[in-house]
Amino acid sequence: MNTALSRSWQHAVVTGGAGFVGSHLCTALLDSGAAVTCVDDFSTGRPENISALLERPGFTLVRANVAEPFTVDRPPDLVLHFASPASPADYLRLPLHTMETGSLGTRNALTLAQRSQARFLLASTSEVYGDPQQHPQNERYWGNVNPVGPRSVYDEAKRFGEALTTAQADAHGTDTAIVRLFNTYGPRMRGYDGRAVPTFIRQALAGEPLTVTGDGRQTRSLCYVDDTVRGILAAAANGLRGPVNIGNPAEITMLELARLVIELTGSHSEIRYIERPTDDPAVRCPDITLARDKLEWEPRVAAEQGLRRTISWFRTQADAGI
């Protein structure tokens, strides 16, 4: 079996490489000895996420919207398609861009991989399961998605991307993989991106009330970004087409998360309940049997440890006035 440690890459292209997960992927690939081309239009990615990489040998930045045809300096042997608004605040602000990135952007990234005879990996999401009626969710579950709800621009863009990736592999023999990422968190998240972890940390550090939606009993499964990156690279190195869930099966309610953040930050913030968003999933938990069996992967970082690291990063950002 090929693993992330036994298969090396000469040149990887990471679309959305200036984003949260994408920038961590760029770093990991550079550390492994690969040359990396980051393609990003900075609609949601941030220059500071990759500023430290700009001076590193082998790193190239291409500023481009992947929904339009783009080129890179030399053929890659790995294409990782991570370009997409990924937080509710972003995809609700950029609905058409989100759908174009998931459709035209996926098509353009697949074309690059096909022409270069490269391995292609699509970053999909647990959101393809919608508000699931199966719990935990395994890869055979088709999901419960509202195709015209406010979250549909992201959910359906990812579902279409999966279908397009599968069709490309079937029609042209492109070497493809699909990973479904569950609730990744860690340094480089934006405090105002609308997701629970950065929102709670930002509020707690500022002494503001932590805004828990609904009654707080809805669950998520938090996977620290280092674990997620390991899973992604394991899927890339393996011949598995997927889809394969990459996430942490340790479930936590939003109320429990809020209380844990208050405890770990030493904040005196209170909890305030606000209206729950439309189509907000009641539960979210991956079945990672496939990842364990085929990729020999599972998460290593417990929630408290990962949250401490993330809180420390947010404190440093606040102290620097960022």
Catalytic residues: 154
The residue among 107, 109, 158, 105 whose CA lies nearest residue 130 is 158
Residues, the chain:
322
- Residue type at 49? N
Within 10 angstroms of residue 57's Cβ, the number of other Cβ atoms is 6
- Three-class DSSP category at 4: coil
- Determine phi and psi for 41, rounding to 5 degrees: -100, 0
**Contact 220/262 with Cβ under 8 angstroms?**
no
CA trace torsion 307, 90, 282, 251 (10° rounding) = -20
Alpha carbon distance 288, 136 (integer Å): 9
Residues 6 or more apart whose Cβ sits within 8 Å of residue 165: 106, 110, 120, 122, 176, 178
Q: 213 — phi, psi (to 5°)?
A: -85, 145
